[in-house]
A and B are shown apart, each in its own frame.
Chain A
Amino acid sequence: MSNVITDALCPFCGCMCDDITVVVENNKIIEAKHACKIGAAKIMGHHRIKAPMMRKDKNADFKEVSYDEAINEAARMLANSKRPLMYGWASVLCEVHKKGILLAEELGAIIDNTATVCHGPSTLAVHEKGLPTSTLGQIKNRADVVVFWGSNPVHAHPRHMGRYSVFAKGFFSEKGRRGRKIIVVDVRKTETAGMADEYIQVQQGSDYLVISALRAILAGQAAVVPDTVGGVPKEQLVKLVDTLKAARFGAIFFGMGLTQSMSRYKNIDNAISLTTELNSFGKHVIMPMRGHYNVTGFGQVCAWETGYATAVDFARGAPYYNPGETAANDVLTRKETDAAMIIAGDAGAHFPANSVRHLAKIPVVQIDPYWNPTTEVANVVIPVAICGVEVEGTAYRMDGVSLRYRKMIEPTHPTDLEILEKITKRVIEIRGE
């Protein structure tokens, strides 16, 4: 039986393209039209973990077990932990986040999401400066100057430029690409830089300096700016300021080039200030290029439930938050964590070796559809249905617009939601015993 689903949402990156046409035959997706390479790979699927698995010794092979056994053992490990960490949450829906935060409360755990290795520093900058931003459609309809700073959409957000930022045509931007000036600031001349009208090459780790110089020039203090800043000739900086000042609607999109480099959140703090100051001349907005499709959603749910967007420590019964102290890599580096649940995020692949080394020493529960480096350090592995493909629900696009994912096919595994509910129930039972 063949079935065509239109207007489906792609569950890969923060663009959350909602124009995918999915062709399903016999509960198998055979085509994902309009999706980019990454999106199609995600929607079409890969080899899955078949059944729950457990092992005591992390060097031993896994043994397949029943879901009940795995859930029971996961609950036991977490309930017996003094300092549990619940990490991941990027590629699941908001409905799962809610259950996760409830379990974290129940356990007195630290709950942190993949923003911690992505745009966590952007949140810290928002604490300091706010965030002048807009929805992506506002940019599509109005922007005449677009800056990609330390972000590479050709690779990380392949349809961003077409749908929202570069080629997209809108009400005030009927010329699309021809009506826009595209500027790329990066350490490497990326493919995105290759498509730009202007490429500004900064020396690695110099973004803060370069932004500071731009702000000085904007403030009429060009005289204090040296001939080159962070490897960028002053003339190029002056020209960039002129371009930005002349913009009717400017948009800065920034990525890991700012959040992961030296100065971390201060880079973004500075970029937000620059954006704010540019609003004395024209309209300007700034937006983080969020990676996974629902990494934004975790921040939203966590904020409305706990007041904080991420890295929340429930050890005191009330939410406590202090990245640098309560973020996943902080507690792993300090070897504080004595059990971890890794769900919908792959700490094994995406944390520094030092953190993975600690995960390899403590009990780890993994909830994920796929075998990945986290599996290699796990004791209990619980495979689940794929949110956004086999499970419907809510996610937040990089600009904070929330959309509802459709179920494309019937799941072959239980959902994250069901697993978390069962673990929570069992944790309460164990703690009550």
Chain B
Amino acid sequence: MELLIKNGAVFDPANGIAGDKTDISIKDGKIVDKVSSGAIVIDAGGRLVMPGGVDAHSHIAGAKVNVGRIMRPEDTRAGIKPRTKITRPYTGYTVPNVYAMGYRYAQMGYTTVFEAAQAIMKARHTHEELEEIPIIDKGALTLFGSNWPTMDYVREKNMDKLAAYVAWGLLASRGFGIKVVNPGGGEMWGFGKNVTGLDDVVPNFEVTPRDIIVSLMKVNEMLGLPHSVHLHCNNLGKPGNYKTTLASMELAKQVKPSKDRQVLHVTHVTFNCWGGTNWGDFESKADEIANYLNNSENVTTDMGQLIFGSATTMTADGPVQYANAKLLHAKWANGDVELEDASGVVPIFYVKQVSIHAIMWAMGLELALLTKDPYKVLLTTDHPNGGPFVNYPEVIALLMSNKKRQEEIKTLHEAVHKRTKIPGIERELGFNDIAIMTRAGSAKVLGLLDTKGHLGVGADADVSIYDIKPDQTDPSAEHAKIKSAFQSAAYTIKGGNVVVKDGQITATPMGRTFWVDASVPDEQKEIMMKDIRMKFKNYYSINLANYMVQDAYLTHPYVVRAGVIPVEVS
């Protein structure tokens, strides 16, 4: 099938196109040079055209998402829509059902979304849900930061074994990259404890978070994985944690990237750019993080923007969730995974007149507005931790309009004036910046810029058209229009299929699941597997033969190859 999008105001930052009237030709699911006269024509009529949205960090599938659903029927009751001839029912707001997950992303013009954390042992569950999320392409990052084999190999300083373990773990979990959450803390939470900084020693394993992060960055580059290490820093959720975050970012200097991308992605900075020493003197240090980013090349971040209202916090950071539950007197789910990591789920309601929440709201925006290069700060809400992803249009409008920010600030706790810099920041992002933070940048950070996040020839034909004419719109003044346009795409085209028209789902093809098959020399793998077999024999509660995610759970796989090239022995 051929498709021609004419008269679009195209923003395709990866190809240097910023609002030019450019035609986009699509054939067999790909962007091509030109199409025949028989192509179906979509007249964009001067409206905004961008590559399909790419989300590099969102909790869309797996054990903790489903725990969120099960513990929050009150959330499921929000956002209910009955089935139609085309769509299954929608349910939920912060923890939508699998169908709403795919439909709502598509309705916003997003076509690729990455689940930010899966434990290997529970990866089968993640894939079961991914298999049922319609339309979008997806993948999942795999947790490695507290796994016993990781810590053993870090202690032994055996990077070959660690690389072999990561490669095998990605295969076992059909994962896309290395996620590290509160490194070492997951293991310590096994006995209700936590690490308090980069240099705490994890008992019994005799490694520090610093060792874990650096070692995993090294093997990430040894393996040439598309994405970098994706880090949820230690001390998240504690006042003063920006120092830990900066110190973690500094570690990136120890490793050279194997690709044209960062070596460390520090995620949801809203939760780890906290100044102060307690809840009383709590303040934003997002400016310090932005300052660091402006003076370094190896690190990227995402916002984790806070959205007022209901959210569900969910993370592999088990101890922070216990602390949250205690602090908020909220219901608490915990989900330790043997030998691998922890996790927790706690509902929260962000309130404009709560000083902490108002300050946190400012943090994500400060980070995005004070960091000069939009490639270094992706737009996320750390769905559903900062708030549900359906609020991205609100975030876009806030970033594009100081007027909107000032209107919002008037409704917030006064702490936003004293403890953040946001009231004085006048910068307003343009469509090109937004296209980077939601498309080109996310694709680049993920290492998928060859086929995602741009509209050049050879890219996947994922395109969104929004009902807004960039040359006739002042986003600063007309922020409501911006928000509503991004909420409901005029068209979303996924793999060459029109899946959304005028904000309504028109088709529900299944997307693909991206995973990375990283090779290591056979003998290197075999040496590592001896240890793994021992772990299963003695410690795991299941047998090795039943551990790996089987092919049956990826009916539409997309395999990205990576790995250490074995040296030929003559």
Instruction: Tell whether A262 is near chain B: CB-to-CB under 8 Å.
Output: no
Q: Cβ of A171 and Cβ of B333 under 8 Å apart?
A: no
Q: Which of A61-69, A353-361, A400-408 contacts B (4 or more CB under 8 A)?
A: A400-408
Q: Which of A124-132, A332-340, A375-383 contacts B (4 or more CB under 8 A)?
A: A124-132
CA–CA, A233 to B129, complex, Å?
A: 49
**Least Cβ–Cβ distance between A141 and chain B, in angstroms:** 6
Q: Cβ of B81 and Cβ of A276 under 8 Å apart?
A: no
Q: Given the complex, which residues of A lie within 8 Å of B330, measured CB to CB?
A: 130
Q: Which residue of A lies closest to B97 (CB)?
A: A307
CA–CA, A299 to B333, complex, Å?
A: 16
Q: Given the complex, which residues of B lie within 8 Å of A128, measured CB to CB?
A: 331
Q: Given the complex, which residues of A lie within 8 Å of B191, measured CB to CB?
A: 142, 248-249, 282-283
CA–CA, A6 to B330, complex, Å?
A: 45
Which residues of A are in contact with B by a Cβ distance under 8 Å? 6-7, 9, 18-19, 94, 98, 105, 123, 126-138, 140-142, 163-164, 168-172, 248-249, 276, 279, 282-285, 299-301, 303-309, 314, 316-319, 321, 392, 394, 396, 400-404
**Least Cβ–Cβ distance between B175 and chain A, in angstroms:** 16
Report the interface size for chain B: residues with CB under 8 A from the other chain.
64
Q: Which of B372-380, B481-489, B536-544 contacts A (4 or more CB under 8 A)?
A: B536-544
Q: Which of B1-9, B70-78, B348-356, B405-413 contacts A (4 or more CB under 8 A)?
A: B70-78
Q: Given the complex, which residues of B lie within 8 Å of A7, measured CB to CB?
A: 543, 545-546
CA–CA, A142 to B148, complex, Å?
A: 14
CA–CA, A249 to B190, complex, Å?
A: 8
CA–CA, A35 to B541, complex, Å?
A: 16
Residue contacts A-B, CB under 8 angstroms, 5 given: A140-B338, A171-B538, A172-B204, A249-B191, A403-B546
Q: Given the complex, which residues of B lie within 8 Å of A318, measured CB to CB?
A: 80-83, 89-91
Which of B129, B190, B325, B332 is in CB contact (< 8 Å) with A304?
Answer: B129
Q: Which residue of A lies closest to B127 (CB)?
A: A402
Q: Which of B61-69, B266-274, B385-393, B559-567 contacts A (4 or more CB under 8 A)?
A: B61-69
CB-based A-B contact count at 8 angstroms:
192
Q: Cβ of B92 and Cβ of A307 under 8 Å apart?
A: yes
Q: Given the complex, which residues of A lie within 8 Å of B124, measured CB to CB?
A: 394, 402-404
Q: Given the complex, which residues of B lie within 8 Å of A321, measured CB to CB?
A: 73, 76
17 additional A-B pairs beyond A126-B70, A130-B330, A396-B125, beta carbons within 8 Å, are A18-B542, A105-B83, A127-B73, A136-B338, A141-B190, A168-B541, A170-B538, A170-B539, A283-B192, A300-B125, A305-B98, A307-B75, A309-B69, A400-B63, A400-B335, A402-B125, A403-B542
Q: Cβ of B132 and Cβ of A133 under 8 Å apart?
A: no
Q: Cβ of B82 and Cβ of A316 under 8 Å apart?
A: yes
**Least Cβ–Cβ distance between A244 and chain B, in angstroms:** 13
CA–CA, A401 to B334, complex, Å?
A: 14
Instruction: Tell whether B32 is near chain A: CB-to-CB under 8 Å.
Output: no
Q: Cβ of A133 and Cβ of B335 under 8 Å apart?
A: yes
Q: Which of B505-555 contact A (CB under 8 A)?
A: 538-543, 545-546, 550, 552
Q: Given the complex, which residues of A lie within 8 Å of B539, measured CB to CB?
A: 137, 140-141, 170-171
Instruction: Tell whether B346 is near chain A: CB-to-CB under 8 Å.
Output: yes
Q: Cβ of B334 and Cβ of A132 under 8 Å apart?
A: yes
Q: Given the complex, which residues of B lie within 8 Å of A129, measured CB to CB?
A: 331-332
Instruction: Tell whether B95 is near chain A: CB-to-CB under 8 Å.
Output: yes
Q: Given the complex, which residues of A lie within 8 Å of B122, measured CB to CB?
A: 400-402
Which residues of B are in contact with A by a Cβ distance under 8 Å? 61, 63, 65-67, 69-76, 80-83, 88-92, 95-99, 121-122, 124-125, 128-129, 132, 148, 189-192, 204, 322, 325, 330-339, 345-346, 538-543, 545-546, 550, 552
Q: Cβ of B132 and Cβ of A305 under 8 Å apart?
A: yes
CA–CA, A279 to B186, complex, Å?
A: 16
Query: A134-B337, A307-B73 in contact; A142/B125 too (CB < 8 A)?
Result: no
**Least Cβ–Cβ distance between A22 and chain B, in angstroms:** 13
Q: 10 closest Cβ contacts across the A-B interface? A: A137-B338, A307-B76, A317-B82, A137-B541, A307-B91, A134-B336, A283-B192, A7-B545, A130-B331, A132-B334
Q: Given the complex, which residues of A lie within 8 Å of B81, measured CB to CB?
A: 318
CA–CA, A105 to B82, complex, Å?
A: 9
Q: Given the complex, which residues of A lie within 8 Å of B125, measured CB to CB?
A: 300, 396, 400, 402
CA–CA, A14 to B81, complex, Å?
A: 34
**Least Cβ–Cβ distance between A216 and chain B, in angstroms:** 18
Which of B63, B97, B335, B541 is in CB contact (< 8 Å) with A164?
Answer: B541
Q: Which residue of A lies closest to B90 (CB)?
A: A318
Q: Given the complex, which residues of A lie within 8 Å of B543, measured CB to CB?
A: 7, 18-19
Which of A132, A141, A392 is in CB contact (< 8 Å) with B333?
Answer: A132
**Least Cβ–Cβ distance between B27 and chain A, in angstroms:** 34
Q: Given the complex, which residues of A lie within 8 Å of B96, measured CB to CB?
A: 307
Q: Cβ of B337 and Cβ of A135 under 8 Å apart?
A: yes
CA–CA, A359 to B81, complex, Å?
A: 32
**Least Cβ–Cβ distance between B364 and chain A, in angstroms:** 27
Q: Given the complex, which residues of A lie within 8 Å of B92, measured CB to CB?
A: 307
**Least Cβ–Cβ distance between A65 and chain B, in angstroms:** 32
**Least Cβ–Cβ distance between A416 and chain B, in angstroms:** 17
Q: Given the complex, which residues of B lie within 8 Å of A304, measured CB to CB?
A: 61, 65-66, 69, 97-98, 128-129, 132
CA–CA, A172 to B192, complex, Å?
A: 14
**Least Cβ–Cβ distance between A103 and chain B, in angstroms:** 12
Q: Cβ of B89 and Cβ of A319 under 8 Å apart?
A: yes
Q: Given the complex, which residues of B lie within 8 Å of A303, measured CB to CB?
A: 66, 69-70
Q: Cβ of A308 and Cβ of B76 under 8 Å apart?
A: yes
Q: Which residue of B lies closest to A142 (CB)?
A: B190
Q: Cβ of A283 and Cβ of B190 under 8 Å apart?
A: yes
**Least Cβ–Cβ distance between A25 and chain B, in angstroms:** 22
Q: Given the complex, which residues of B lie within 8 Å of A396, measured CB to CB?
A: 125
CA–CA, A279 to B91, complex, Å?
A: 33
Q: Which residue of B lies closest to A140 (CB)?
A: B541
Q: Given the complex, which residues of B lie within 8 Å of A404, measured CB to CB?
A: 124, 546, 550, 552
Most buried by A among B63, B71, B330: B71
CA–CA, A270 to B92, complex, Å?
A: 27
Q: Cβ of A18 and Cβ of B192 under 8 Å apart?
A: no
Q: Given the complex, which residues of B lie within 8 Å of A134, measured CB to CB?
A: 334-338
Q: Which residue of A lies closest to B549 (CB)?
A: A404
CA–CA, A6 to B543, complex, Å?
A: 10
CA–CA, A172 to B95, complex, Å?
A: 36
Q: Cβ of A94 and Cβ of B128 under 8 Å apart?
A: yes
Most buried by A among B70, B81, B98, B132: B70
Q: Cβ of B121 and Cβ of A401 under 8 Å apart?
A: yes
Most buried by B among A279, A321, A402: A402
Q: Cβ of B338 and Cβ of A305 under 8 Å apart?
A: no
CA–CA, A234 to B567, complex, Å?
A: 71
CA–CA, A137 to B76, complex, Å?
A: 31
Q: Cβ of B541 and Cβ of A163 under 8 Å apart?
A: yes
**Least Cβ–Cβ distance between B154 and chain A, in angstroms:** 17
CA–CA, A81 to B276, complex, Å?
A: 63
Q: Cβ of A138 and Cβ of B190 under 8 Å apart?
A: yes
